[in-house]
Amino acid sequence: MSSGRLQGSRFERLGVGLPVCLAFFLVSCRVETPEQRGATQAGRPASISFDANTWRAPLDSEIPPDSLGAAIRRGRALFTNTTDSLPSYAPGAINCTNCHLDGGRHAESAPLTGAFVRYPKFLDRSGAVVGIADRINYCFTRSLAGNRLPDTSREMQDMISYLAWLSRGVPVGAGNALPGADGFPVLPHLEGNRQAGADVYAKYCVACHQADGSGTRNLHPTVPAVWGPKSFSVGASMTRPSKGASFIWHNMPLGAGKSLTHQQAYDVAAYISSQPRPDSPGKNRDWPNGGAPRDVPYATPGREAWNPPPRLLPRANPEKALVPAPRKAGRP
């Protein structure tokens, strides 16, 4: 019996036709191009079948009907109704989705899509590499002016499950290719005028956010407080006029975004940022290596605070409003 017939008999005994096995052999032994070989040697895949221009965030209707899906739904509910669901950790009048619109899918309001695969990452503000749980807690302690959520809590794991689901299909390392990966889109730099901003606020904002900035809780979606004891802290990104102006111009008034001029957006952002708001404990240690953006309203290493800075309101539990930088575990 010839060797070819013997090999064919072996393939047949395995229930596989010879042509299929030959095809498998050829695919398995394909020759890489120099570019592909270099990419593999560099520790990165030769190709990633991902197109940021055509990728879309999954819809709520696509959440799976299993235990993981239940965690995703709980996480979505926590992002949407943060203050009602976690009043001990988010005691103010502002929810995650007041800034991350459309459940974190809106490309022009600091989208959460792709966030899961961008962490761990180095944050200049912290001077350390932080993971996704710490990043969520920065939002709780700064943007919600609340308290640190335990990393091991079911609520934290549910929120992480939701973020992971929002990044479905985005490879690790590709999250920065999505629209909005840097947070709020950058507007041309302008100087805001607080008095002019007060006039813009009175004309376009006061009906929902109220004259005292306290927001409106009986609307759907709820309208967040933009200053005062239940608003975001001075350590939140939204207190920077460049960030606030971008969010305002792209999205406000709600449903009529891009109807203000860039100057009006900067003016009202400067006015809102100058109003009293909760302090941010530990803010003096932000940007420990220097290089804080010029519109950060408080003093950081190597630079002074605004003149005049906003009036800061004390926090009820300042020790719980800190997110410690990662430390070495050491010996037990």
pLDDT band at 332 (very low <50, low <70, confident <90, very high): low
pLDDT at residue 43 greater than cutoff 90? no
pLDDT at residue 262 greater than cutoff 80? yes
Say if residue 283 is in the same domain as residue 311.
yes
> What does the block give as tokens for 194?
């607080």
Say if residue 117 is in the same domain as residue 157.
yes
Question: According to the model, what pLDDT value does residue 218 have?
Answer: 84
From CA 222, how far away is CA 95, in angstroms rounded?
8
Residue 20, domain member (yes or no):
no
From CA 84, how far away is CA 203, in angstroms rounded?
30
Say if residue 163 is in the same domain as residue 204.
no
For 96, the domain range is 60-177
Residue 328, domain member (yes or no):
no
Question: According to the model, what pLDDT value does residue 44 have?
Answer: 44
Question: According to the model, what pLDDT value does residue 49 have?
Answer: 72
Residue 312, domain member (yes or no):
yes
Task: At 118, give phi and psi (nearest 5°).
Answer: -95, -5
Percent of the chain with pLDDT over 70: 85
Residue 158, domain member (yes or no):
yes
Say if residue 201 is in the same domain as residue 313.
yes
Residue where a domain stops, chosen among 177, 210, 234: 177
Question: According to the model, what pLDDT value does residue 220 have?
Answer: 75
Say if residue 172 is in the same domain as residue 67.
yes
Question: According to the model, what pLDDT value does residue 181 have?
Answer: 84
Residue where a domain stops, chosen among 149, 177, 205: 177
146-203: per-residue pLDDT in tens?
999 999 999 999 999 999 999 999 999 888 889 888 889 999 999 999 999 999 999 9
**Which region holds residue 252: left if phi is over 0, alpha if psi is between -120 and 50, else beta?**
beta
Say if residue 201 is in the same domain as residue 268.
yes
How many CB atoms neighbour CB 305 within 10 A? 14
Q: Total structural domains in the chain?
A: 2
Say if residue 127 is in the same domain as residue 206.
no
Say if residue 283 is in the same domain as residue 211.
yes
CATH number at residue 289: 1.10.760.10
Name the residue among 297, 201, 292, 284 with its Cα closest to residue 241: 297
286-318: per-residue pLDDT in tens?
999 999 999 999 999 999 999 899 999 999 999
Say if residue 162 is in the same domain as residue 220.
no
Residue 28, domain member (yes or no):
no
Say if residue 256 is in the same domain as residue 226.
yes
Residue 184, domain member (yes or no):
no
Residue 14, domain member (yes or no):
no
Say if residue 171 is in the same domain as residue 198.
no
Say if residue 172 is in the same domain as residue 199.
no
